[in-house]
Amino acid sequence: MMYIDPHIHMSSRTTDDYERMRDAGIVAVIEPAFWFGQPRTNIGSFQDYLSSLVGWERFRASQFGIKHYCTIGLNSKEANNEALAEQVMELLPLYACKEGVVAIGEIGYDDMTPAEDKYFRQQLELARMLDMLVLIHTPHRNKKEGTNYSMDVCIEHGLDPTRVIVDHNNEETVQSVLDRGFWAAFTIYPHTKMGNARMVEIVREYGCERIIVDSSADWGVSDPLAVPKTAALMRERGIPESHIGAVCYENALKAYGQSGQFNESDWVNPLPIDQRQLFQGNSVLRGQKPVVDRELALIE
Ligand SMILES: [Zn+2]
């Protein structure tokens, strides 16, 4: 079975994670631009980060047999540094049109401040101008209110709900997101928030249409195998295989496939892994024998 993890911050993860993900069946990932855990202090940090999302990280994933895509945006937390946010907004169009960029995101609200509102709206306008998809990060506090308001603002700016993926949903928000025609993504957090047992019940109750499962794994307590693990639990608890395939693979492909940048042929007929390759003179190896042609088990 093939899986897609359409929301994972691989820059914060290790090569072991890439190997385990590939072994578990993950063939493609989408890495949304987000924050570091501490605020960036200058535009150069943003520039290098965005460059790494379309450059080094994409290369690194390829060295472990996983196709890497990303979304480009100014996250809600850092939208609150307005002086810096202004400069980031100038940078975004330069990256949004690069190869492998599937959406503007993850954007939205954290604390629902006026600055967050301002840059969320500006980025929705950018998405509309570039005819791009949007990935929305809904706030973890005031979830229901923040999610509804995020959708209101999308509609106000003329976005088509079928081109907007609303993430970090839960039982409180799923109905209204689906009713309004948006994609409803769920981030599976270990131990807390949206766990995988709760996800099984959501699919049982709401079916599989426009529902997407992801890990949102990053530098915090999170699990890069959340998608295949949730699929396994669904299987164990009697969710039909067609529903599992939809929420753990096909819906992400349908949603992000609208970008024209995210095609099944990219990973169904992949180039062979060749760890002898270099990116700007660097490889992922530290003196190990390079893996060539997907013999990942050779790494010692
Ligand atoms: Zn994220």
Whole-number Å distance, alpha carbon 261 to ligand 1 midpoint, is 20
Domains in the chain, start-ordered, CATH in brackets?
3-278 (3.20.20.140)
Whole-number Å distance, alpha carbon 106 to ligand 1 midpoint, is 7
E runs forming strands in the chain? 3-5, 26-32, 67-72, 101-108, 134-137, 164-167, 183-187, 211-214
234: closest CA among 261, 204, 258, 211? 204
Whole-number Å distance, alpha carbon 287 to ligand 1 midpoint, is 33
Categorize the per-residue pLDDT at 277 as very low, low, confident or very high, splitting at 50, 70 and 90: confident
Measured distance between the N- and C-terminal CA atoms of the chain, rounded to whole angstroms: 26
Q: CA torsion sign, 218 to 223 to 225 to 227?
A: negative
Instruction: Yes or no: say if 137 and 106 are a contact pair by the CB < 8 Å rule.
Output: yes
CA–CA distance, 77 with 46 (Å, rounded to integer): 14
Whole-number Å distance, alpha carbon 6 to ligand 1 midpoint, is 10
Whole-number Å distance, alpha carbon 288 to ligand 1 midpoint, is 32
Residue in the structure block whose two tokens are 């047992």: 197
Whole-number Å distance, alpha carbon 215 to ligand 1 midpoint, is 9
Whole-number Å distance, alpha carbon 165 to ligand 1 midpoint, is 13
Tell how strand 67-72 and strand 101-108 pair up.
Answer: parallel
279: closest CA among 45, 55, 17, 50? 55
Average the pLDDT over each of 171-185, 187-201, 239-253 and give the range with the smallest value: 187-201
Residue 294 pLDDT: 59
Residue 212, helix vs strand vs coil: strand
217-274, pLDDT tens digit by residue? 999 999 999 999 999 999 999 999 999 999 999 999 999 999 999 999 999 987 788 8
Whole-number Å distance, alpha carbon 168 to ligand 1 midpoint, is 9
Residue 272 pLDDT: 81
